[in-house]
Chains A and B, each alone.
Chain A
Amino acid sequence: MIAIVDYGAGNVESVRRAIAHVGATATLTDDPAQLQRADLLVFPGQGHFGQAMARLRERGLQDVLRAHIDAGRPFVGICLGLQLLFERSEEAPGVAGLGVLAGEVRRFAERDADGARVKIPQIGWNAVQRARAGTPLDAVPDGTSFYFVHSYHVVPDDDAVVAGRATHGGPFVAAVQRDNVFAAQFHPEKSGEAGLRLWSAILEGGWWGRAC
């Protein structure tokens, strides 16, 4: 079963529709019992790091997500769902993230290296360059554009988790993958044909070692 974690953070229905479009069925739920039975968890998110963590804790989902990941089952984070995997964020100082990946979440710098203004939030299509092979990004040509909407980006301690990068003011991490966890800063469910192809690759498996 594919479950989408529905914890009141944004347009999760569009994720369900994109998954349905590529031929799979996903359930939207915040019920811990149901989430515990999921083979693959999709963890979307929009909005504020601190509020999202508070909502996860209120619903008792923090431990469910950790247990799923620790058990080696496939896990897909989207946008804020990527950021929440890290230890902390400049958006919510003092709030602990899930801490699945070491590192932090930072706001885009307002100026680039040349002193030019950087638009925040970044809204629109940006080309993602693969950092390595063996992630779902293999399903699309290197440099394919995806749709981004965000003001913060992740800074992993370990470069080896980076799956893809893009440039906004300077290079930033657009996707990460480690073992059974793949997470994207962009919205594959809003990235047209490229996004649907990525969803297919995510659900087909391979990147975490076995089919779902």
Chain B
Amino acid sequence: MITRTLLAVTVISWMATPVLAHAFLNHAEPGAGATLAQAPQEIALSFTEKLEPTSSGMSISDAAGHDMEAAAPAISGNTVTVALKPLAAGTYRVSWHAVSLDSHRTEGSYSFSVVPPG
């Protein structure tokens, strides 16, 4: 029984190569919940899978809902970056959506704050 199970698992794993999976957020800069003394000039997100450039993206908004992107997001491989307008002190919301090459979609959002010292 166990031998059959292991054999089946091995066969399935082999058949699955190469794998195209959902793209999950792997790293964000600045990260979720960050409190920054200096306003960032860009947001950079990296994902666990390569992205479909035409269907993936990100937006940044301030507390009043104003868009804070200075340009359209740049998507390369598994990363998305976007340049920002000058950010004043306050809390900002990053909203992203990612479509991996197999067309599976994921999305997410998080906040960070800019709090100048003093």
Chains A and B bind each other = no
Q: Which residue numbers of B lie inside 8 Å of A, CB to CB? A: none
Q: Which residue numbers of A lie inside 8 Å of B, CB to CB? A: none
